[in-house]
Amino acid sequence: MKFSETYIGGILFASASLLTGLRTTLKEFFTPKVTEQYPENRATLKISERHRAMLYMPLDENGNNKCIACGLCQSACPNSTIIVKTKNIVDEESGKSKKVLDEYIYDLGSCMFCQLCVNACPKDAIAFNNQFENAVFDRKKLVIRLNK
Amino acid sequence: MKKPNIKSIPYEEFKDNETLEALIKEINSERTNVVVGALDDLINWGRSNSMWSLTFATSCCGIEFMSLGAARYDFARFGFEVTRNSPRQADLIMVAGTITHKMAPVLKRLYDQMADPKYVVAVGGCAISGGPFKSSYHVLNGVDKIIPVDVYIPGCPPRPEAILYGMMQLQRKVKIEKFFGGKNHRAKKGEMNNDPIIVTNAPIIDNEKLSKE
Amino acid sequence: MYNFEIITSAIDHFLHSVMPAQLAVITECVLIAVCTLVAYVAFAIVMIFMERKVCAAFQCRLGPTRVGFWGLLQVFADVFKMLIKEIISINNSDSLLYRLAPYLVVLSSILTFSCLPFDKGLQVLDFNVGVFFLMAASSFGVLGILLAGWSSNNKFSMIGAMRSGAQMISYELSIGLCMLTMVVLSGTMQISEIVEQQVDGWFIFKGHLPAVVAFIIYLIAGNAETNRAPFDLPEAESELTAGYHTEYSGMHFGFFYVAEFMNLFIVAGIASTLFLGGWTPLYIKGFDSFNAIMDYIPGIVWFLGKTFFLIWVLMWFRWTFPRLRVDHVPTLEWKYMVPIGLVNLLIMTICVVMNWIF
Amino acid sequence: MNPIFIDIKEFPQRMQEYKDLKGMDFLRELIGMDWGEEGLGVIYILENSDTHENLEIAIKTTDREHPTLPTVCHLWSVAELYEREVYDFFGIHFTDHPDMRRLFLRNDWVGYPLRKDYDESEAINPVRMESEITEDVQREYEIKEEAELKKINAQTNRISGDQYVINIGPQHPATHGVLRFRLALEGEEIRKIDIHCGYIHRGIEKMSEKLTYPQILGLTDRLDYLSAHQNRHALCMCIEKAMGIEVTDRTQYIRTIMDELQRIDSHLLFLSCAAMDLGAITAFIYGFRDREKILDIFEEVTGGRLIQNYNTIGGVQADITPGFAKKVKEYCEYQKSKIKEYNDVFTNNIITQLRMKGVGRITLDDAISYGCTGGTGRASGWACDVRKRHPYAIYDKVEFKEIIYKRGDCYDRFKVRIDEIKESIHIIEQIIDNIPEGDYKVKTKPIIRIPEGQYTAAVEGSRGEFGVFIESHGEKSPYRIKFRPMGLPLIAAMHKILKGTKIADLIAIGATLDYVIPDIDR
């Protein structure tokens, strides 16, 4: 019979294991804490650039988006989060009818951030940003129009 | 108008102030006296700073909820850390994860078992609208079909900071309530959101500001 | 040396001089009751705040920081919320017992609380069988818990209540043995007398080995009495959701919550009274100037200092250890703590008889 | 993959032979199939646990009204739940099966969702808000001569009415999600147990039949969110295998490192949650504290903390960031020093040891018969690591030990995971400095179609073998896709090991089996 299996030995071994645990937590008691204080640290908070929090349309220097209303993002989307509404306008110079973007509607509340739309876009007209502060009181506020 | 104040984030920087202001107007439509108003403030201060949530998690978002309780994000700073396992003692149910057809009556029952005042936060795409599983035969498309939701936190899953932000939104909503007189939280009992989401006239998002960031 | 008896007797004389004797007694009773309740609530709030901060520190996090400066107002927010939270009445429950249970638990802990000697003369209940009364009062808390579990008409509550019954009643034995050991050492059961005897040296030093053993056993058993981890089986969160108070909401739950913390305070308070000299200061023989400085610190500070230190130790236990399994709890009690406690009592008796104490 | 079709009449005997003579003792997968006009059927993938030789068998019936097939659950215990799943999804009755009830869906569900002719309309199956009445009666079926079903034993109750029955779950802190145990107790001891799944059944397999392959990838992350990388890896591998895409070495290295990081992440969460379930909340927080460091690495490279969306068909979504290698190495050093802390504060603690040692033993035979792969199988002494059995990515190029323990109790299951963290760090350290240059992604066609046929792939997920089966008819979406759940076999084994244990043991066993419910329910 090992000493640790005897009555006294058992007590001693058990106490030793408990004391080791106590020592460990005591050490942590005095180490600096790791908590990051959001929202106090909002100004300094760094989030990875690749983080996906919300879809947006980057604008070029003239303030226009690059969307050509091809609808590839809409068809790539697994759960119809994106709806691209188009309209036909007549080009004044050539007189031809052209399909352009009317409304780019994005439902933040059902997006699964799979990046398929961004991958599908031929013009890099959409991208994800890391602005994560999106909680709202009304479900309808999550359906947003990305273009102006 | 009384504007709810949250430490470290100015009122203007919060999203969806319009809904909140509409709500304030509705609640303040009846006049109350000063003493009762001060008492209301005290009670709302207590309620908003002591949101004990039910430990309810069905899937991925639940893990982020656990991260929120752990050392790095530590929602104890807000006083939210007393998570209760019994719905009777909880003030808040965080629907973190997909709600399926089989789970829906259970969720409803949990909600009914909670003591007033009770709040619901829908965390993540699944709880808001069915998210990735919108088209599934066995998934409820949005918990607001069965229980009234106070705050929606989008994301799949939302990062812990986003959940904290959502909790602060809820605090704002609690801070405008009226316990004495006026319309309080119970008034909306039974009002479920069953109308479909209309996608036209969607609010325009400020792209210029986003592009800069 | 501070002595509160001067103040209390002054109040007593004053009351008797302005009103008839009977009215004076009644007034005193009311005064004391109010003071006790206020102190009880105040300590509960301090304890809850302390628990949240201490637990956070052990877990490398910060704990409440946002409500009030350094989170100081956090517990007040909780109290306000709890007071106006709906109290749900349960169908098919034993309504009377269901409502009675939380009050029983709180009553038991208030009774025990009033036995604590905060300072010389600052003690509500003090009579010749004080230790005996203490044990009796503390042991009917289990009744409240059993009733809560039984009357809730909830199977989890029921299991929780049965667990707590088995646990608390068996650990009472160990507590009794430890107290008995100290009673043997002091030769009296009056609490004020026990403290008085420690003026020239705390019992843990006077009683050396058997006192230290009794102290350790008392801390373990006391922890089990308060249903706190690692002995939190009756409410075992991961097993029984919330155990015996699963069905309680609002302030009824608040009573259980407060009583749990106050029981911790009481356990620590009794430990500091019996083993660490209560309100008596620390003296080191031969260091007269040091002893004189110690005298300047009021007794109540000594008492609370010791008590809160012990509370911190108990919290340290709580936030370190996993929960015991239901069959290990009686094993620990009946196989280890009771035999050791009995032998310890014997050793203490021998020590006292042979005068092997300091 | 070409399964051998066997006639129903010969089937029981042939299966017996495969098991006894060929040593096919591990039922890897049991896949229900609906081949439309050709009938309903089942594909079995068997494996010899010694030689790792595989055998695919199929069986079908043309009767769509009352399809009946013989059971195999007396040969492989895990088939009991697998067959219930097939019954639930396809309506195939298995004769001589002891317990033909629905597994995932409600009792009052109309229709069998994975059949091709299933009507998904809301009118047939609306959201029912009344509570489900628990079905306590188990039915057995046997075939009468004219191939008509006959119900027998309709009276046997799993848990009869007069016992002290409690429900653990679906909303319970220790079930790690929404699983429900119905327990019949005697005092604290568990006498009978009935497990109900499906509270998070999201119908991913059915949804996938309508989605394109890249779209399905997103759903795999959400199956077992703690093996998101590995799940996605398995599906990508399967599609790449089917399409004949050769991924670059760089991709393979990145995928391997990510898989291992994910494994550490999952195991850290495992030990935190095990600690919390046993009441040691501080140990829980320590585990989560260190897990955040992995999540930071994930977020920087993939953009997601929990759901990463990183593997894509033919490569990965984006190249690793410049500081990746340095960060990972720093993390590995840090993590090594912290394992001792977990051991000090939790593992070596006498209370933990008493609660775990000798509790919930799974024998080697049971582990194989129930198909408990992953840490649970290895704790019982079964060398079941897919990384060794069927190496993929670059696991044949790195040196690592397969952690194997013998006793198969909770403590061993716990230790396996702790040792695997060390082993994963060891793997990462070998390859982190040698990531070859090259493309991180192979160009693929914009529309992905898989040639007709059946394909499988398997990876070692964080908690067992994760397999993917695809039957393609050459379309943009699969004809049938099946994911092998890592957790379902573990749940099946719980039936056996729980009897006679205490409620507290249920918690310890559940915690150390380490299942993730969305992975079980899919």
- Over residues B48-60, the mean pLDDT reads 84
Q: Which pLDDT band holds residue D337 (cuts at 50, 70, 90)?
A: confident
ipTM: 0.87
Residues forming a β-bridge with A83: A105
In D264-406, at which residue ranges do the beta strands (DSSP E only) sit? 311-312, 315-316
Q: Where are the alpha helices (DSSP H) in chain C?
A: 5-18, 21-58, 74-83, 95-113, 130-139, 141-151, 155-186, 191-196, 203-206, 208-225, 237-240, 250-274, 288-296, 299-318, 328-330, 338-354
Number of Cβ atoms within 10 Å of the Cβ of D488: 24
Residue B182 predicted with pLDDT over 70: no
In a 10 Å sphere around its CB, with 0-12 CB exposed, 13-18 middle and 19+ buried, how is residue C358 labelled?
exposed
Give the integer Cα–Cα distance in Å for D395 and A95.
62
Which residue in C186, C187, C194 sits closest to C126, CA to CA?
A: C194
Q: Are D314 and D443 members of one domain?
A: yes
Q: Which range is least confidently modeled, D133-147, D169-183, D291-305?
A: D133-147
Residue B149 predicted with pLDDT over 70: yes
In this complex, do B77 and C65 lie within 8 Å of one another by their Cβ atoms? yes
Chain A residues closer than 8 Å to D345 by CB: 20-21, 24-25
Residue D147 predicted with pLDDT over 60: no
Residue A44 predicted with pLDDT over 60: yes
Q: Where are the alpha helices (DSSP H) in B6-95?
A: 17-27, 34-48, 60-69
Restricting to B residues 85-114, those with a Cβ less than 8 Å away from any Cβ of A are none
A20 touches chain C (CB under 8 A): no
> Residue C31 has what pLDDT?
86
Positions of chain C with pLDDT lower than 50, given as ranges: none
> Residue D136 has what pLDDT?
67
Strands D4-5 and D54-61: parallel
Q: Which pLDDT band holds residue D66 (cuts at 50, 70, 90)?
A: confident
* Collapsed DSSP state (helix, strand, coil) of residue D86: helix
Could you tell me if residue A120 is inside a domain? yes
In this complex, do A34 and C61 lie within 8 Å of one another by their Cβ atoms? yes
Q: Which pLDDT band holds residue D163 (cuts at 50, 70, 90)?
A: confident
Read off the pLDDT of residues C73-105 as tens digits, 9 standing for 90 and up: 888 888 888 888 888 877 777 888 888 888 988
Which residue in A148, D120, D444, C301 sits closest to B203, CA to CA?
A: A148
Main-chain dihedrals φ then ψ at residue D254, nearest 5 degrees: -60, -45
CA dihedral B191, B193, B195, B200 (to 10 degrees): 130
Could you tell me if residue D127 is inside a domain? no
CATH number, domain of A80, equals 3.30.70.3270
Task: List all residues 6 or more positions away from B13 whose beta carbon is below 8 Å from its beta carbon.
Answer: none
Strand order across the A97-107 sheet: A82-90, A97-107, A143-145
Could you tell me if residue D125 is inside a domain? no
In a 10 Å sphere around its CB, with 0-12 CB exposed, 13-18 middle and 19+ buried, how is residue D10 labelled?
exposed
In this complex, which of C66, C80, C88 lies closest to B78 when CB atoms are compared? Answer: C66
In this complex, do B7 and C241 lie within 8 Å of one another by their Cβ atoms? no
Which residue of chain A is at minimal alpha-carbon distance from D348? A17
Could you tell me if residue D274 is inside a domain? yes
Residue D42: enclosing H or E segment and its boundaries?
Answer: strand D40-47
- Over residues D228-249, the mean pLDDT reads 87
DSSP labels, D456-485? EEEEEETTEEEEEEEEE-SSSS-SEEEEE-
Q: Which pLDDT band holds residue B202 (cuts at 50, 70, 90)?
A: very low
In a 10 Å sphere around its CB, with 0-12 CB exposed, 13-18 middle and 19+ buried, how is residue D134 labelled?
middle
In this complex, which of A11, A28, A33 lies closest to C62 when CB atoms are compared? Answer: A33
Per-residue CA distances from C180 to C185, C201, C211, C268 (Å): 8, 19, 11, 17
Q: Which pLDDT band holds residue B31 (cuts at 50, 70, 90)?
A: low
The nearest CA of chain D is from the CA of C69 a distance in Å of 25
Residue D285 predicted with pLDDT over 50: yes
Q: Which range is least confidently modeled, A2-6, A102-106, A143-147, D357-361?
A: A2-6
Under a CB-based contact definition with an 8 Å cutoff, are residues D140 and D97 in contact? Answer: yes
Strands B151-153 and B119-123: parallel
Q: Which residue has the tokens 């509160």?
A: C4
Structure tokens at C148: 């809560």
In this complex, which of B73, B132, B156 lies closest to A36 when CB atoms are compared? Answer: B73
Q: Which CATH architecture has domain B11-184?
A: 3-Layer(aba) Sandwich (3.40)
Read off the pLDDT of residues D190-221 as tens digits, 9 standing for 90 and up: 888 888 888 888 888 888 888 888 888 888 88
Please report, for chain C, the start and end positions of each structural domain, with discontinuous segments joined by +: 84-354
Q: Which residue has the tokens 């057995």?
A: D140
Which residue in D57, D10, D2, D8 sits closest to D29, CA to CA?
A: D57
**CA geometry: angle B78, B80, B81, nearest 5 deg:** 115
- Over residues B38-53, the mean pLDDT reads 84
> Residue C343 has what pLDDT?
92
- Over residues B116-124, the mean pLDDT reads 86
Residues forming a β-bridge with A129: A54
Number of Cβ atoms within 10 Å of the Cβ of D422: 15
Give the integer Cα–Cα distance in Å for D42 and D69.
9
Exposure string (b/e) for C289-327, b if CB count within 10 Å is 16 or more? eeeeeeeeebbbebbbebbbebbeebbbbbbbbbbbbbe
Name the range with the highest mean pLDDT among A65-69, A112-116, B11-15: A112-116
Structure tokens at D267: 């195991």
Q: Which pLDDT band holds residue B159 (cuts at 50, 70, 90)?
A: confident
Q: Are D139 and D222 members of one domain?
A: no
Read off the pLDDT of residues D350-359 as tens digits, 9 standing for 90 and up: 888 888 888 8
Chain D residues closer than 8 Å to C60 by CB: 285-286, 289
Q: Are D137 and D266 members of one domain?
A: no
In this complex, which of D188, D279, D349 lies closest to C232 when CB atoms are compared? Answer: D279
Q: Which domain holds residue D43?
A: 4-119+132-146
Q: Which of C45, C55, C67 to mutate to test the interface with B (most CBs of B within 10 A)?
A: C67
Give the number of domains in chain A.
1
Residue D370 predicted with pLDDT over 60: yes
Task: List all residues 6 or more positions away from D278 whose beta carbon is below 8 Å from its beta carbon.
Answer: C238, C322, C323, D351, D352, D355, D507, D508, D511
What separation, in Å, do the N-terminal and C-terminal C-alpha atoms of chain B show?
31
Give the number of domains in chain D.
2
> Residue B204 has what pLDDT?
47
Residue D157 predicted with pLDDT over 70: no
A23 touches chain D (CB under 8 A): yes
CATH number, domain of D61, equals 3.30.460.80
pTM: 0.89
Give the integer Cα–Cα distance in Å for A83 and A134.
20
Q: Which pLDDT band holds residue B196 (cuts at 50, 70, 90)?
A: very low
CATH number, domain of D259, equals 1.10.645.10
In this complex, do A37 and B72 lie within 8 Å of one another by their Cβ atoms? no
B162 touches chain A (CB under 8 A): yes
Could you tell me if residue D330 is inside a domain? yes
Per-residue CA distances from C343 to B137, C336, C338, C348 (Å): 68, 11, 9, 9
Main-chain dihedrals φ then ψ at residue B51, nearest 5 degrees: -90, 100
CB pairs under 8 A between A and B: 168
Under a CB-based contact definition with an 8 Å cutoff, are residues A39 and B165 in contact? Answer: yes
Q: What size, in residues, is chain D? A: 522
In this complex, do C325 and D166 lie within 8 Å of one another by their Cβ atoms? no
Which residue in C81, A38, C49 sits closest to B49, CA to CA?
A: C81
Residue B192 predicted with pLDDT over 80: no
The nearest CA of chain A is from the CA of D441 a distance in Å of 13
**Cα B129 from chain centroid (whole Å):** 15
Q: Which pLDDT band holds residue A39 (cuts at 50, 70, 90)?
A: confident
> Residue D159 has what pLDDT?
67
- Mean pLDDT of all residues belonging to chain D: 84
Which residue in D263, D279, D433 sits closest to D349, CA to CA?
A: D279
Residue D94 predicted with pLDDT over 50: yes
Chain A residues closer than 8 Å to B211 by CB: 56, 58-59
Under a CB-based contact definition with an 8 Å cutoff, are residues B178 and B184 in contact? Answer: yes
- Over residues D234-249, the mean pLDDT reads 87
Please report, for chain B, the start and end positions of each structural domain, with discontinuous segments joined by +: 11-184
Read off the pLDDT of residues C143-191 as tens digits, 9 standing for 90 and up: 888 888 888 888 888 888 888 888 888 888 899 898 888 888 888 888 8
> Residue B199 has what pLDDT?
45
In a 10 Å sphere around its CB, with 0-12 CB exposed, 13-18 middle and 19+ buried, how is residue A102 labelled?
middle
In this complex, do B131 and A107 lie within 8 Å of one another by their Cβ atoms? no
- Over residues B162-167, the mean pLDDT reads 89
- Over residues D421-430, the mean pLDDT reads 89
In this complex, which of C59, C159, C241 lies closest to D285 when CB atoms are compared? Answer: C59
Residue B150 predicted with pLDDT over 80: yes
Q: In chain D, pLDDT over 70 holds for what percent of residues? A: 95
Q: Are D114 and D263 members of one domain?
A: no
> Residue B203 has what pLDDT?
46
> Residue B1 has what pLDDT?
63
Give the integer Cα–Cα distance in Å for D458 and D1.
13
- Mean pLDDT of all residues belonging to chain C: 85
Which residue in D460, D443, D464 sits closest to D375, CA to CA?
A: D464
Q: Which residue has the tokens 């749940």?
A: D491
Could you tell me if residue A16 is inside a domain? no
> Residue B201 has what pLDDT?
43
